[in-house]
Chains A and B, each alone.
Chain A
């Protein structure tokens, strides 16, 4: 399946490259990787193509792992990833004489949210972990009322889930009592209407629910940038070697440094790089 898909992608890339050459000098940038970074890559692509109609950018979202694979195989120009490349991936890239260069395009913070009527204000990261692994199942154990905790989680495919797992629950299993919903908005809706609920959402989705402080640190953009807030991560784009200045690729990847790029990142609900 995997190889079939890769073959297919490679075939498509070859075809499009051939088509682009036939069509003349049209520039082509192929982006693939994380679903979390996907919205940023797409917003950048739309913005850039509007200003440069001769450049064609295609953005796919097939997971961070495929972003890394694409860079290693040389099948794509930009690999988007919601985690840094692992050592094995870097070694594999070196083996193929590639030089992955990391660009941090944005930060992503995840807020733990509860019902507005919940008096609990702060949870330590360990308490948060124990709630999600099922060890703590009543709010009174963390200083709240005698109320059963309804654990709400994103579905296991989402980047938000991955980050939460990576930063909070780590290798432990999330309790089988956890309810799964399909989007940040759905988490917010469930938490908003359920007094005993706890959920986690991207920073842009805390309106109408109460965001907790984690380890006494507020989930704000500033605290994400200063890396004080514990549940956050960088979002990356990888290229093979630093793109030469003045090329479309360099302009596209470098968009995150511009004021417009920062605004686009913010519009997608992520934290722009300062």
Chain B
């Protein structure tokens, strides 16, 4: 195609042979230059991978491979040392999962609200404020987590959890109940529908309220002995990841454009129907990208987890207990790097690179999955 264009250009402009050669040379030079610049960033990724792998491989070659992934005993400076990183891998995953649970629903709701619910002028002021969360240095978040949030969790942890639980769960339960009551009523004759709806709603409502009360009481009575734990780190990380989630997801929702929304309204859909069945599915790939970016932000964060997570290298009991301290990969690398090459022979030094390699591979895999899923949603939409 390009040669065709070149041919037609040549015939119409009647360039001389030397001018044509100059043009070709210029083009090659320009393209080559652009290629070099583009590949620089690729090379950077490649070199990071190579250098981390080079320092990580000695560790794995010393038959530590199994211990690293299976054992939970992390005593790198003990004599003899043991390098079981299972609890640390688990800590990273637990904290990241917690952060995702905070950032993704909250961020998506905020993004939808910003793009489709709030008037334009309000959005113009709210969005920059949310994005300012990203400008706060992570050590400031960590300081807040350690000095303010941790003692607050210790002193009022139970009531705080109970209130948070009520605030989050009540609206969802109420919505679900309304839908359920409607569904139940639809099975009956028209003149009985309102009665059935009321009865079902009252019955389920009473059960839900009882459940809410019971769970709330249990949470209320919880004693948190140490405020620097997985929950603390997860909430702070979730807030840190929020601007990424909101900003990228909102851009994706905006990119859908007016046409789709107008078409949906024209077919008689309400705003809720348009949002849930048209706008969000159409922006799914962008929202997914936002979620993965937010997760990357959370798993790579170091300072906050070093200060807020407690750094105890053990798997909580039971495993989902967010109220126990955990240790993450990033905090371990940062905390142990100082003297690692001198203090306990070099295995301690190389194990930290092994951790960095695991982190890097994890984000590469995540990136690949997101690319795959984005491509799939694009195909389906087409």
Minimum CB–CB distance for B296 against chain A, Å: 25
A225 at the A/B interface (Cβ < 8 Å)?
Answer: no
Q: Is A171 an interface residue (CB 8 A)?
A: yes
> How far is B339's CA from A161's CA once the two chains are assembled, in angstroms?
13
**Known contacts A155-B335, A156-B336, A180-B312; A173/B226 CB under 8 A:** no
User: Which residues of chain A are near B87, meaning CB under 8 Å?
Assistant: 176
Q: B311-341 interface mask toward A, CB cutoff 8 Å, 1 = contact, 0 = none?
A: 1111000000000010100000001101111
Contacting residues, chain B, for A171 (C-beta < 8 A): 78-79
Interface string of A186-227 (1 = CB under 8 A from B): 100110011111000000000000000000000000000000
| Residue of chain A at shortest CB distance from B228 | A179
**Is B370 an interface residue, CB under 8 A from the partner?**
no
Whether B341 contacts A150 by the Cβ 8 Å rule is no
Name the CB-closest residue of B to A178.
Answer: B312
Tell me if B346 and A2 are in contact (CB < 8 A): yes
- Chain B: residues with CB nearer than 8 A to chain A? 72-79, 87, 146-147, 150-151, 154, 225-228, 306-307, 310-314, 325, 327, 335-336, 338-343, 346, 349
Q: Is the CB of B151 within 8 A of A193?
A: yes
Given A2-B346, A179-B228, A193-B227, decide whether A62 and B339 contact each other with a Cβ distance below 8 A.
Answer: yes
Q: Is A116 an interface residue (CB 8 A)?
A: no
Closest B residue, CB atoms, query A197: B226
- Among A157, A174, A177, the most chain B Cβ lie within 10 Å of the Cβ of A157
| A96 sits at the interface (CB 8 A) | no
Given A155-B335, A179-B310, A193–B340 Cβ distance below 8 Å?
no
A79 at the interface (CB under 8 A from B): no
Q: Are A157 and B335 in contact (CB under 8 A)?
A: yes
Interface pair A63/B342, CB less than 8 Å apart:
yes
Chain B contacts of A184 at CB under 8 A? none
**Contacts A155-B335, A157-B340, A157-B343; A194 near B312 (Cβ below 8 A):** no
**Binary interface profile of A, 41-53, with partner B (CB < 8 Å = 1, else 0)?**
0000000000000
Is A1 on the interface with B (CB-CB < 8 A)? yes
The reply to whether B336 and A155 form a contact with Cβ atoms under 8 Å apart is yes
Q: Is A177 within 8 A of B349, CB to CB?
A: no
A177–B312 CA distance with the chains assembled, in angstroms? 5
Return 26 A-B CB contacts under 8 Å, by A number: A1-B341, A1-B349, A62-B339, A66-B342, A150-B225, A156-B336, A157-B338, A157-B339, A157-B340, A171-B78, A173-B75, A176-B72, A176-B314, A178-B312, A179-B310, A179-B311, A180-B327, A186-B307, A189-B147, A193-B147, A193-B151, A193-B227, A194-B150, A194-B226, A195-B154, A197-B226
